[in-house]
Amino acid sequence: MTEVVVALIGVVGILGVGYMEHGRRTSNRRWEKNTDDHAFVIDKIEQLGKSLGHSIDRVEETAVRTEGKLDQHINDHVTGRVTHGKEKVRRRKLVG
């Protein structure tokens, strides 16, 4: 009878170890696949970031140019040097 109990404990132990090993190997496979997926996503994010960075730089350069032109135009209005085409535009006084 003792031999049967020892044998059952051994079988349960072996099944438990086998189950844990199976879980570990499955987990490792999932982790490897997950790592590949993460690498793909990171690559796509970096590509988007690079193209977005170029777009932001272009918008910023355009905004700086426009701001400079606007500042010059406002300054021309203030100093009375506004031109329309080749003719100088007369400065009108505001009534008020």
Query: Looking at the predicted structure, is the pLDDT value of residue 87 above 60?
Result: no
pLDDT in tens, 9-26: 999 999 999 999 988 888
Residue 41 has a pLDDT of: 84
Token duo for residue 27: 């987990």
pTM here is 0.35
Rounded mean pLDDT, 79-87: 67
DSSP per position, 10-76:
HHHHHHHHHHHHHHHHHHHHHHHHHHHHHHHHHHHHHHHHHHHHHHHHHHHHHHHHHHHHHHHHHHH
C-beta neighbour count of 89 within 10 angstroms: 13
Residue 95 has a pLDDT of: 58
Residue 14 has a pLDDT of: 92
Query: Looking at the predicted structure, is the pLDDT value of residue 88 above 80?
Result: no
Asked if 83 contacts 89 with a C-beta cutoff of 8 angstroms, the reply is yes
Residue 89 has a pLDDT of: 53
